[in-house]
Structure 1
Amino acid sequence: MDPVAPPPSWDTDRVWTVPNVLSLARLLGVPVMVWLILGPHADLLAVVVLAAAGFTDWLDGFLARRWHQTSRVGQMLDPIADRLYIMAVVVCLALRAVIPWWLVVVLVAREVLITLLVPLLRTRGFSSLPVHFLGKAATFNLLYAFPLVLLGAPEGMDWAPARVLGWAFALWGTALYWWAGGLYLLQTLRLLRTFPPTRRLTG
């Protein structure tokens, strides 16, 4: 008997929806942000790009739920865009010595953990896990932490309140990021126990 397939967690198979276009636009902003930080050191403009990314991150999810346009493509694009922004900005800030490299290692290690879960999920018919509220909260904290840290950098605007608030968001966001990662790990293990493998045996 074929194993029971998990129910789909999306509303549509359409690719060109408004939420997906917003996610794609957010992805295209990553190289712009990297150039602004590392090239002309246009920190204020980089912060504008990051703020726009954070807003569209909320907006595409809101519209997908409101208009019933949650899609498989969107479920892949949204977390990819979030992770690219976080990884790109922390590497850029580390290269400019605004943040320590240990923070980069901590955040990258969490991404490695999530990446290692994907092959396990595929054995049960899943390509990804639904985004957890805690994961979105962590992403929100980190997306707004590093612009503030950047504004508070001595070589930038050197705005002390932004530096203090930014580091508070960064440390809290990093803790939430790993907490969410632990929940994703537990969720994956639960799926492995609940659903049988979907790959058919041949031979």
Structure 2
Amino acid sequence: MKAINRQRQKVVPKATGLVLEIGIGTGLNMRHYDAAKVEKIIGLDPAMQMHRLAKKRIDQTGLSVELMGLPAEKIPLPDASIDTIVMTYTLCTIPEPVQALKEMRRVLKPGGKLLFCEHGAAPDEKVRNTQNRLQPVWGKLAGGCHLNRDIPALLKEGGFLVDDIETMYVPGPKAFTYNYWGQAYCEAA
């Protein structure tokens, strides 16, 4: 978990202005936001039971946070209303990832950014084959998590240009630990 926490530290502090966090879950990102740069955070997560746990972490930060119990495929915000979208270890479980990314693009202001840190398809053929073999069972055991999603391809299909991306295996079994992190912007319409 320390490695995952270090990954979060690479992207979350870059958030500015009005922030939409996709998949806020239990609020693990809360301590990484820079309160001096963030006006407000809107935390979106369909798992309402997570909100109680997130609230405890939110209360420790002093950040202004509004929680919404909806999926990323149906973001209830106006067009071009968000400065920064933060998405960490969430795209793997979104049932319709391209639809969700298109919704994110819709609510992002011109010049806004999507900060992401996700696990996904490994570049090594042997590891990727293992991911593909594990996926049917893993998805059922891990709440719909997809080990083998091609994160850069999904971002592009969702209408984003990846400006900055880094990759690596974090410590652990390779089939579960290939990480992508960076930032993306909306393609011009």
TM-score bracket, normalised by the shorter chain, equals under 0.3
Normalised by the length of structure 1, the TM-score is 0.23
* Structure with the larger helix share: 1
Larger Rg: 1
More strand by share: 2
